[in-house]
Chains A and B, each alone.
Chain A
Amino acid sequence: MDTIAVIFGGRSAEHDVSIITALSSIIKPLELTEKYRVEAIYISKEGAWYWDEKLKNIDLYSSGKIKDFIKKNHPVSLKFDGGLTLIKSGRQRIRSSSLKVDVVFPSMHGTYGEDGALMGLLDMAGVAYVGCDLASSTIAMDKILAKEVAIANQIPVTKFVIANKEEIDKDIASVIKRVTTKLSYPLFIKPTHLGSSIGISRAQDQTALSNGLEVAATYDDMVVIEEEVPNLIEVTLPIIGNDVLTPAMLEQPMTKPEDFFDFETKYLQGGKKGKGKAGKGSQGYSKIPADLPKDLYKKALDLGLRTYQIVGCQGIARVDMLIDSKKGEVYFNEINPLPGGLYAHNWRAAGISSVELVDRLVNMAKERFEKQQKLATTFDTNYLQQF
């Protein structure tokens, strides 16, 4: 029985979302497969790693008792021993236990996880892991880099301008001038590296733009400002696969541009902007499949799949696209290497159960790892003997 380590939490603004993804969409279905030994690895907001059965319980986090847990327990040590082993010492440091990991299932959103940092560490350790690798994660989580890669591959993107935190902090007026010279309102202002819609705002005038830039710059050192697509239909496409890709269904969030999916809308109001109470998460207010004419649906589907391949995604990712419904134009918006909750609701609608989804993802991770093991990473030379 393979041991799967699900790593979640972390030093990220999306720390809490990561916990929900891990506990409800990864650990639970993985355990239900009855094929794996599933271990929970929690990374605190301070960056310490913990490994314990108790970490699988949502009450630990919702009640705030995680703070007591952190106080009472020692963080684990990582051992790179031709793979990855976690070592945990007991409370009195007398007894210790270790865990040799066969496959890592990252459930990290945002910085130090989804951005490729964790994948780099796992590559160094030499352990199989689920999802996008270091390079594709880095591209995907950098909205500017992703757009540049898309442009280089003739994938349409909306008009955009970039600004860094320093210039926003020192001379916001010149940033606004640069933006308004090149782009027309309404605009979207986004931190470059964050997901889950954190720090995103929409601006229809200069005041809102100024505020939006300041907000985005508090989260990130780079900010991207995009022009809004007219007659907008927003769609998103979850995809799984390494070489052979399986798309889920194009999903259409039912929000107007002015009610764009910010964090609150997405996770706390069941996807519904306004006074609605918390619901089922982002899936609560979207259409699956997206309500599009057949040809436009296919165009978006093809663009999503092409983008996934060009960025070099593997395992799982979700491609967000913007559609000008009058012109029938589809634009790549962003790519998300670890969709919140794995977008399990969409996969279910596409005929893949949560249990099957995580099982397939683990198998893809193992396949990729096996392939990588066959590649030569060293070769013998007499270089050293010359010294």
Chain B
Amino acid sequence: MKNFIKAVLVFYTPKTYPKTLVYMLQNTEYQPAAYLKWFWRTQNFNKVMIRRTLEKTKAAKQLLLGLYVGITIQLILGVLIIYLWHWHNLPGGLVFGIAVIVSYPVTWAHLVTIPLIAGRLLIVEPNQKAKILASENVFKKHRAIKVAIAGSYGKTSMKELLLSVLSEGKNVAATPANMNVATSHAIFAQSLTGAEDILLIEYGEGAPGDVKRFSQTTHPTHGIITGLAPAHLDHYKTVEAAGEDIFSLAQYLDNQNVYVNSDSPLTESFIRPEFGLYNQYGALGWIVSDTKIALKGTSFTLKKAGKEITVHSSLIGRHQVGPIALSVALAKHFGLTDEQIIAGVASAKPFEHRMQAYQLSGGWVIDDTYNGNIEGIRAGTQLLIDLSAKRKIYVTPGLVDQGKETKTVHLEMGRLIAAAEPDLVVLMKNSVTQFIQEGLEFGNFKGIVRVEENPLQFYNNLREFIAAGDLVIMQNDWPDNYS
């Protein structure tokens, strides 16, 4: 009862409620549909701003001001109606006035989306369309080799790796960070000088037809498909549909200069004989040997037709062997020297929150919290097997956006974790926890399972849980707008 009263009162707390709404908008990237979905699913608005607080950006401040003004007007209106009822016998004025006052939290939770929708329709979208159109011309005329990087996972890492390696001998430009949608491509096009030798363009697919559209705009000459896994299934519905979209890149390239990660089992049915393949055993005819996986990085030797090259990278995990091998093979193909390639591979750094290893309390933590698919889980659990430690700990909240595959994916995830035999599994409690636990049971997991009710507390106090000899792998993130 006490909690229920608290949950109701938060609607009428001027200091908290408008901020919570803007926070929710900010965390759904001002997407009205996602925001409203979150709003209607939320049972206790006191618990929304737990992980983070509102970032007071210009847009957030404007929305907050708009909310305060709107709410104030509605409250004045309510009081005015009651006043008219009291002094001028306005019929039904009391009930209506109270209703106007009481309803302001719900009213403004919805009205706040109007400027966003209007702004998107009238300003943002036309502006973006114009920019995308202009960028198409830039890409078409650009003389550089244009490498498109698509896939359900591993795109940013592949792009950053190629950027490190190819930059040793070529003038290379790449789409920044994980900016990988059409508008990002358009901004990227504006930054080009025309003197670049190679462009690396990441394709962030999210719905059917995305990759085809990106290809038509950016005019790639080469394509890399980093893997296929259930992702964005809220829009794609099935993995096959996602695969068809991703592999439309190959169609655009007439199946020439297409390189596919065959370590990813789901790519198999899409692979054509014309494609170049790469995996942990080699790439484009280069054969991998002497692979060494350690916390300080990954080393191996590549051999082809009497040539040999040994590389070391600070990227961690067996799943990195294929991408590194491909980057070496492409670098050779594009004319880089062995010295340049070795230096390039050595200089590649893990992208933030992607298999990023660091020491804490004497133990090792591998932060892979940006992973968002089952193939990443496969890589993470394989890494747990490959590395030795006194105590192994696996931490995850599970995967979001798995659509109808949610249960299947998390059962598989539980089995993969069980097979890696960590001593302790820490699960952040949410709607998929039960499925992971079932998967662990199916996998006959013998270690300890700890279900965390307060994930933030666990992450913030990680140093208190670990010690020398521990190896902790943290995978996936569970944003606030998921239950």
Chain A residues in the interface with B (C-beta under 8 A): 28-29, 32, 34, 347-356
| Nearest-Cβ distance from residue A250 to partner chain B, whole angstroms | 14
- Assess whether B482 is interfacial by the CB under 8 Å rule: no
Q: Mark B446-479, 1 if CB is under 8 A from A, else 0.
A: 0000000100011001011111111000000000
Q: Is there an interface contact between B461 and A353, defined as CB atoms closer than 8 Å?
A: no
Docked pose: A241 CA to B427 CA in angstroms: 31
Out of B362, B463, B467, name the residue touching A356 (CB < 8 Å).
B467
Flag if B464 contacts A28 (CB, 8 Å). yes
Which residues of chain B from 419 to 468 have a CB within 8 Å of any chain A CB?
A: 453, 457-458, 461, 463-468
**C-alpha gap A251/B461 in the complex (Å):** 25
With contact pairs A32-B457, A348-B361 given, residues A353 and B465 touching in the complex (Cβ less than 8 Å): yes
| CA of A355 to CA of B463, assembled, Å | 9
Find chain B residues with CB under 8 A from A349 CB: 362, 467-468
CB atoms of A347 and B467 under 8 A apart? yes
Contact residues in A for B391 (Cβ distance below 8 Å): 351
Is there an interface contact between A32 and B464, defined as CB atoms closer than 8 Å? yes
Contact A355–B362 (Cβ < 8 Å): no
Which residues of the partner chain B approach A34 to less than 8 Å between Cβ atoms?
453
Determine how close the nearest CB of chain A comes to the CB of B273; give it in whole angstroms. 53
Q: Which 8 A-B pairs have the closest CB atoms?
A: A353-B467, A348-B467, A354-B464, A351-B469, A348-B361, A348-B362, A351-B467, A351-B468
A-B contact pairs, 5 of them (CB 8 A): A28-B461, A348-B361, A348-B466, A349-B468, A352-B467
Question: In the complex the two chains form, what is the Cα distance from A348 to B467 in whole Å?
Answer: 4
Identify B468's interface contact among A29, A348, A355, A356, CB under 8 A. A348
Check if B88 is an interface residue, CB within 8 A of chain A: no
Do the beta carbons of A353 and B470 come within 8 Å of each other? yes
Q: Is B390 among interface residues, defined by CB-CB distance under 8 A?
A: yes
Q: Which residue of A lies closest to B464 (CB)?
A: A354
Bound Cα distance A34, B463 (Å): 16
Q: Which of B390, B453, B464, B469 contacts A355 (CB 8 A)?
A: B464
* Chain A: CB-nearest residue to B391: A351
Task: Evaluate contact between B466 and A353: CB separation under 8 angstroms.
Answer: yes
C-alpha gap A352/B470 in the complex (Å) = 9
Bound-complex Cα distance A349 to B363 (A): 8
* B390 (CB) vs chain A CBs: closest residue: A351
A22 vs B217: C-alpha distance in the bound complex, in angstroms? Answer: 62
User: Chain B 378-398, CB within 8 Å of chain A: the 1/0 string?
Assistant: 000000000000110000000
How far apart are the CA atoms of A367 and B465 in the complex, in Å? Answer: 23
Knowing A348-B361, A349-B362 touch, does A32 contact B461 (C-beta < 8 A)? yes
CB pair A32 B390 closer than 8 Å: no
B461 CB to nearest A CB, Å: 5
User: What 6 additional pairs, Cβ within 8 angstroms, besides A32-B465, A354-B361, A354-B465?
Assistant: A29-B464, A347-B467, A348-B361, A351-B467, A353-B467, A355-B465
Residue among B363, B461, B468 with the highest chain A CB neighbour number at 10 A = B468
Chain A residues with CB below 8 A from B363, complex form: 348
Assess the B464–A350 pair: CB atoms within 8 A. Answer: no
Complex Cα spacing A351 to B470, Å = 7
B361 touches A353 (CB 8 A): yes
Question: Considering the chains assembled together, what is the distance between the CA atoms of A356 and B390 in angstroms?
Answer: 15
Cα distance A349–B458 in the bound complex, in angstroms: 20
Whole-angstrom CA separation of A354 from B470 in the bound complex? 13
The docked-state distance in angstroms from the alpha carbon of A342 to that of B469 is: 20
Contacts of B467 in A (CB 8 A): 347-353, 356
CB of B400 to closest CB in A, whole Å: 25
Residues of A within 8 A of B464 (CB): 28-29, 32, 353-355
Give Cα A351–Cα B468 distance, bound, in whole angstroms.
4
Contacting residues, chain A, for B361 (C-beta < 8 A): 348, 353-354
Query: For residue B458, which residues in chain A have a CB less than 8 angstroms away from its CB?
Result: 32
CA distance A348 to B463 in the complex (A): 9
Expressed in whole angstroms, the minimum distance between the Cβ of B137 and any Cβ of chain A is 57
Q: Could you say which residues of chain A place their CB within 8 Å of the CB of B470?
A: 351, 353
**Measured CA separation A347–B363 after assembly (Å):** 12
A351: chain B residues at CB < 8 Å are 362, 390-391, 467-470
- Contact check, B468 vs A350: say whether CB atoms are below 8 A apart: yes
In the assembly, what is the distance between CA of A34 and CA of B451, in Å? Answer: 10
Residues of B within 8 A of A356 (CB): 467
For residue A353, which residues in chain B have a CB less than 8 angstroms away from its CB? 361, 464-467, 470
Q: For the complex, what is the distance from the CA of A34 to the CA of B454, rounded to whole Å?
A: 10
Give, as a whole number of angstroms, the nearest-CB distance from B466 to chain A: 5
Q: How far is the CA of A34 from the CA of B465 in the complex (A)?
A: 12
Complex Cα gap A355–B457 (Å): 13
Q: Can you name the residue of chain A whose Cβ is closest to the Cβ of B457?
A: A32
How far does the Cβ of B392 sit from chain A's closest Cβ, in whole Å?
A: 13
Q: How far is the CA of A339 from the CA of B421 in the complex (A)?
A: 36
